[in-house]
Structure 1
Amino acid sequence: MTETAVYAAGGVIWRLVESKIKVLLIHRTAYRDITLPKGKVDPGETLAETAVREIFEETGIRVSLGVPVGVSRYHMPNKRQKIVHYWSAHATDAAIRSSAFVPNREIAAIEWVSPKKALKRLSYPVDVEILENFLRFVEDGVLETFPLIVLRHAKALTREEWKGKDAARPLSPRGRKQAGAAVGQLLAFGPHTIVSSPAVRCVKTVVPLSAATGRRIERTTLISQDAWEEGGSDARRIVGERVRARRPAVLCSHGPVLPDILSEIALATGTLRGSYLGSASALDTGAFSVVHLSATNPGSGIVAIETHEPKV
């Protein structure tokens, strides 16, 4: 991020009504315009966290993020550039029923309309472009997706600092901060399952996420560094289970194992492998890549990959 630009995030919120897509527009009170839900990044927030928070604050609907659908850039009246990142987000029936939205000083109304009507009614060309990006996914047969989140463990004590077994090497003070700070980022993508190498540095990385979600950590040596070094790892089996499940999942592992995990996701979904896999697996400690797959047809290939750096 640059110091001069103003960053914001939001989403194209969608639902199915009698098998037809509807997208959510907001009518802003002060500006008397029609736009997509979005808002500025708060101090200490990541873009993904901002998108989920702003969508909830403006619509009352809690969502998990789907595929990224673009970035809009424009200059505000004060000449500063505003950069807005958008994701697709499915509004479930339960989330819509739970919405406590009422018209307020910021948002006068929210409205579900067809994409065709939305394209005509949006007040700004940059919003139209974002919606058109979303509709390209729809035209390609990709609407409902699920993420596999490949997470490298947070910063651990170095081998020189630790005299015990490598698998028992704990997180450093910075690593513990990274693990706690990652929770909001990871929650933005709605993980249902947490799978981890049994190494202490991996398990401790996802303990805060487990506490926040109430979901247990599934430990497996099949993605551990010890097994990888001994030739006994099996990322294919773990990835296959997660792709078949078609549910959002976090896979926490080690730097040397991550390329195997990304490669197996590509193989399991019939995706052509390329340099992008190397970029997605070359993660710093505490960073993660989100691999978006079609929930209706995972074999159609990877839909999108995005990488998120640690906050600490």
Structure 2
Amino acid sequence: MTSDLAVYAAGGVVWRLSEGKVRVLLIHRTKYRDITLPKGKVDPGEMLAETAVREIFEETGIRTSLGAPLGVSRYGMPNGKQKIVHYWSAAASDEAIRASSFVPNDEVAGLEWVGLKKAHARLSYPVDIEILEHFERLVDDGVLHTFPVIALRHGKAVPRDEWDRGDAGRPLTPRGKAQAKAVVGGLRAFGVRRIVTSTAVRCVATVGPLSKAIARRIEETDLISQDAWEDGTSDVREVVGRRVRAGKPAVLCSHGPVLPDILSELALATGTMRGAYLADAAALETGAFSVVHISATNPGSGIVAIETHAPKV
């Protein structure tokens, strides 16, 4: 993603536990002879989270899923443009590390796992150290291990005034179908493994490409459907509570009027104080989603972070 004034990129602080201590992964770049965090430019059509996972894999050979966001770094480039880089925490499992096929190359000369203190001394750039400090706050707060529950609004559907049958049967428009495909990479970046959706055709169709991509079945429920919400038979609390108790990455695909209840119930289930930020996270355009990061070790300690993403379709 680029513009006349800026170049967008994404990356992460890749981490693991070794003998009970946090280690982070630094890359030694060949061309620049520096030490930095894995990152790279957004490819056309990519969502930022998708870029982060791809670039981490391309530079390190390690497949990761994203955790909590760590902020954004900005710095000037020699061509006069500003580079804007979004970062996430990214846990590396022992299995993923063993599976890495990394070899030194023209871009990355080597990889180095170090403790946090050594990372401060090693990193070449102050902007990287600032991102590392955001990461350290997660460590200090005991919320480094997180899992996401994602609220997804269905893609653009045929308008009600152009549909003469039941509302639940409204299909996606061509734009809605494109949105459903465009969000797959972004949702996969957060390691989604459970797909729960309203029974409405437009919701089921929105998560269809994701289901195919990750080879996971779709769980349909009327409890988060718009029809049930309108006639008072919905049970958002039951659906959200089940997902928080499970502690696994999940997406809940629903409707504009139902999304505020989903975000409110996520706050309630995690002991989080309510505020305007919940309304902001629920005010999604079609095809957009909000990622709610929850502590895996103490879900009742409050929401760790919320971020919102929208496909460029």
Q: Same fold (TM over 0.5)?
A: yes
Residue identity opposite 2:43 in structure 1: D
- The aligned amino acid for 2:67 is G
Task: Tell me the TM-score normalized by structure 2.
Answer: 0.98
Counterpart residue number, 1:213: 214
Which secondary structure does the structure 1 equivalent of 2:149 belong to?
strand
Quick one: distance in 1 between partners of 2:312 and 2:231? 33
1:287 corresponding residue in structure 2: 288
User: In structure 2, the residue corresponding to 1:143 is in which secondary structure?
Assistant: coil
CA contact (8 A) 2:57 2:64 kept: yes
Tell me what 1:153 maps to: 154
For residues 234 and 5 of structure 1, the distance between their equivalents in structure 2, rounded to whole angstroms, comes to 45
Deviations 1:232-289 (A, max 9, x none): 1111000100000000000000000000000000000000000000000000010000
Take 2:249 and 2:259, find their aligned partners in 1: how far apart are those partners? 18
Q: C-alpha separation between the residues in 2 aligned to 1:202 and 1:296?
A: 31
Separation in structure 2 between the aligned mates of residue 108 and residue 85 of structure 1, nearest angstrom: 23
Q: Is 2:153 the counterpart of 1:138? A: no
Question: Equivalent residue for 2:277?
Answer: 276
**Length-normalised TM-score, structure 1:** 0.99
What is aligned with 2:93?
92
2:11 paired residue number: 10
The answer to whether the 8 A contact 2:45-2:182 is kept is no
* Whole-angstrom CA distance in 1 between matches of 2:170 and 2:47: 29
Residue deviations 1:50-88, cap 9 Å, x none? 101100000000111110001100101222111110000
For the 8 Å contact 1:182–1:311, the answer to whether it is kept is no
Q: Residue deviations 1:110-166, cap 9 Å, x none?
A: 010001100110000000010011001110111110000100000000112111111
Residue aligning to 1:127: 128
Aligned to 2:193: 192
Unaligned runs of 5+ in 1: none
What are the ranges of 5 or more consecutive residues in structure 2 without an aligned counterpart?
none
Aligned to 1:112: 113
Which 4+ stretches in 1 moved above 2 angstroms? none
Count matched residues: 312
Any conservation in 1 of the 2:47–2:311 contact (CA below 8 Å)? no
Is it true that 1:177 corresponds to 2:178 in the alignment? Answer: yes
Using the TM superposition, give the Cα deviation of residue 199 of structure 1 relative to its aligned residue in structure 2, in angstroms: 0.4
Question: Would the aligned equivalents of 1:6 and 1:82 in 2 still touch at CA under 8 Å?
Answer: yes
Letter in 2 for 1:32: R
